[in-house]
Structure 1
Amino acid sequence: MSRAGKSGLQPFTRTQARQRLDYGQKCFEVADVISGEPADDWTPKVAVSLHVLAGIAAADAITGARQGERWRGSDHRGAIALLDAVTGAKEAGRALSDLLDLKDKAQYSPHLVSASEEKQATRRAQQLLDKAAEALRR
């Protein structure tokens, strides 16, 4: 069985990592645009959904740039341990964990997200995007 089949890891090149970072940055940019629009009940929920996507893409970019692999599995939480291992610290993993904690509520639940949850998602996605950009500069 291949390594990807056993562990959820998939080979991932620097070019692919750059593409994921670009995608994540675009998700973040669109979230920022809609956050600046006149608010309705759904705007923060959509913005958080986009920030979650940005964070997941940034995590792929970080691990792809530093290790040549990304997490590929049905549970995004496997990427947390990979991020911790690749970065040598828990900061990026914590940021992704916080975003994933909001994923279900933002993307699948009928419940709205709060302004504080939107602010947290914005901050955490930006942290991951910054780390991904740094990893790709090396």
Structure 2
Amino acid sequence: MTEHSDPHPGEPSEETVELAHQLLDWAREGQAERVAAYVDAGAPVDLAGPDGNTLLMLAAYHGHAALVRALAERGADVNRLNDRGQAPVAGAVFKGEADVVDALLEHGADLDAGHPTARETAAMFERTDLLPLSRPADP
């Protein structure tokens, strides 16, 4: 073994872990250009924290529609559930984020994914106005 060998092969370096935490923080903050640049440079588009919340889930929950769109356009799974079985679209409905709901639906989000589903969440929290069939048509 040399001085420079990795004592824990297969485990990410401290720098990699720190970058992952930073990306997750930036997703919470809605830093779309910064997160997209890292994904474009090779960061996993479905990077998730220890609770299973992906970059897209965090962006959705915190109301950042532009980042949701950027990640979805780069292949993020809009229906990926976190470790609690929650879908990004249900989180966006819960938070009342109509723009995020729209962004997720534009990219194929399933209103019946997860538990509770987005439809169940909308009914529980009286936010059915966020669902497409409940909204008035655009003039």
TM surpasses 0.5: no
TM-score (norm 2): 0.25
TM-score (norm 1): 0.25
More helix by share: 1
